[in-house]
């Protein structure tokens, strides 16, 4: 009799706990979806509206934003519906496969695109002349199409695999069903995702080493040359001063030894502009690395739980940890606009210029003002 009373008293408390947990999940997911839709839509409109942002790195950023908008508008409402139905899938099995396919598609799309962006960032720093000639709109569109093709190739095969895409009640979403390694269909997909993210960080480390090595460069000749009427002699005589004058960086009258040679003309401070371009590329690379690092941090807990299920048979994953890991992966959809505006001064300035009514007075841009 006492046990029945205790059970009857505990049942309402469990129901209250479940309803409170569902309300918190719905509120947090609604907040994530609102931030994602508002932030990504605003950044997408800015990138489309401002012609000064029609450059290679921002084409990739636009693709990321549009993909996050679609993910938030299509996938998240189904998760909210499953929470409202008491952690159950209220629709057909086919719709579950479609939603799971789109979730995996967007995950691999971000991973593949960030890898391609890391390669272009390295090219912009280490091979800037080649990058500036080749990275035009057509090249960016080709890279984006290749990324979507690879993402579809990774996400589409499990659609035909019975039981691979299913509703996971503990996660309250349709996704991969991760089983033990001997009966697993998803190990290859998880390994591919880990390899992509690891390779992306290797490329950024290589770019960082390149910048660090070039910061440590020293002059080849430390002994200055002796000049008499621009006739250079001595240990440091390499002809560099005369070459600088021919290139258009010399000052003063024409040296006697160079009479009859035309000096090249450069509009403005060309060397300063090249230095600013280098700084701009380096800082855009920093912005993209922060996006990549945020993607890794927000997805790492969920990926760790998946590997635990794969390699440890019957491994219990705490429900609180699993819920937090899943919601962190959802939060990644709204993180990119925040990181972009936080680490990119040029985007903030262009946002104030395009939407002065919402963000105060317009800030005048300097001729060579870069991030």
278-318 residue pLDDT tens = 778 888 988 999 999 999 999 999 998 888 888 887 778 88
Q: In the chain, pLDDT over 70 holds for what percent of residues? A: 72
- Residue 185 in any domain: the answer is yes
What is d(CA 311, CA 326) in angstroms, rounded to the nearest whole number?
A: 20
Note the helical H segments in the chain.
2-49, 56-84, 93-126, 128-134, 137-155, 187-215, 240-247, 270-311, 319-331, 335-343, 345-354, 356-359
pLDDT band at 222 (very low <50, low <70, confident <90, very high): very low
- Residue 338 in any domain: the answer is yes
Average pLDDT, the chain: 79
- Residue 246 in any domain: the answer is no
Query: Per the structure, how many domains does the chain have?
Result: 1
Instruction: Find the CATH number of the domain harbouring 200.
Output: 1.20.1070.10
Mean pLDDT of 108-124: 94
What is d(CA 112, CA 146) in angstroms, rounded to the nearest whole number?
A: 9
Angle in degrees, 0-180, between the axes of helices 187-215 and 93-126, rounded to the nearest 10: 20
pLDDT computed for residue 299 by the predictor? 93
- Residue 232 in any domain: the answer is no
Rounded to 5 degrees, φ, ψ at 86 are: 80, 45
pLDDT computed for residue 212 by the predictor? 78
Q: What is the residue range of 160's domain?
A: 22-215+268-354
Pick the more confident residue, 91 or 230. 91
Mean pLDDT of 320-336: 93
Q: What is the pTM of this model?
A: 0.77
- Residue 209 in any domain: the answer is yes
- Residue 241 in any domain: the answer is no
What is d(CA 231, CA 242) in angstroms, rounded to the nearest whole number?
A: 9
- Residue 123 in any domain: the answer is yes
* Unique residue bearing structure tokens 């491994």: 315
């Amino acid at each position: 009799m006492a046990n029945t009373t205790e059970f009857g008293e505990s049942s309402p408390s469990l129901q209250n706990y479940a309803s409170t947990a569902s309300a918190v999940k719905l509120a947090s997911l609604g907040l994530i979806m609102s931030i994602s839709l508002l932030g990504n839509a605003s950044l997408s409109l800015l990138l489309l509206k401002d012609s000064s942002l029609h450059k290679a790195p921002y084409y990739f950023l636009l693709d990321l934003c549009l993909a996050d908008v679609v993910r938030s508008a299509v996938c998240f409402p189904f998760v909210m519906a499953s929470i409202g139905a008491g952690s159950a899938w209220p629709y057909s099995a086919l719709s579950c496969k479609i939603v799971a396919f789109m979730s995996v598609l967007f995950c691999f799309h971000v991973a593949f695109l960030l890898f391609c962006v890391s390669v272009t960032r390295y090219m912009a720093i280490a091979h800037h002349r080649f990058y500036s000639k080749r990275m035009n709109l057509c090249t960016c569109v080709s890279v984006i199409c290749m990324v979507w093709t690879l993402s579809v190739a990774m996400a589409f095969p499990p659609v035909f695999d019975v039981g691979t895409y299913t509703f996971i009640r503990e996660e309250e979403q349709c996704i991969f069903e991760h089983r033990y390694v001997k009966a697993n269909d998803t190990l290859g997909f998880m390994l591919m995702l880990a390899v992509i993210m690891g390779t992306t960080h290797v490329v950024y480390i290589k770019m960082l080493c390149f910048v660090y090595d070039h910061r440590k460069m020293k002059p080849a000749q430390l002994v200055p040359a002796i000049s008499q009427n621009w006739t250079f002699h001595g240990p440091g005589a390499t002809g560099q001063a005369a070459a600088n004058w021919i290139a258009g960086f010399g000052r003063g009258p024409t040296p006697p030894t160079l009479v009859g040679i035309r000096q090249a003309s450069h509009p403005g401070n060309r060397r300063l502009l090249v230095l600013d371009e280098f700084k701009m590329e380096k800082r855009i690379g920093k912005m993209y690395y922060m996006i990549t690092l945020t993607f890794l941090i927000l997805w790492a807990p969920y990926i760790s739980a998946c590997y635990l299920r794969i390699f440890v048979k019957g491994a219990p994953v705490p429900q609180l940890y699993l819920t937090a890991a899943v919601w962190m992966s959802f939060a990644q959809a709204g993180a990119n606009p925040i990181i972009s505006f936080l680490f990119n001064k040029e985007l903030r300035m262009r946002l104030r210029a395009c939407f002065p009514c919402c963000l105060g007075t317009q800030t005048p841009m300097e001729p060579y003002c870069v991030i």
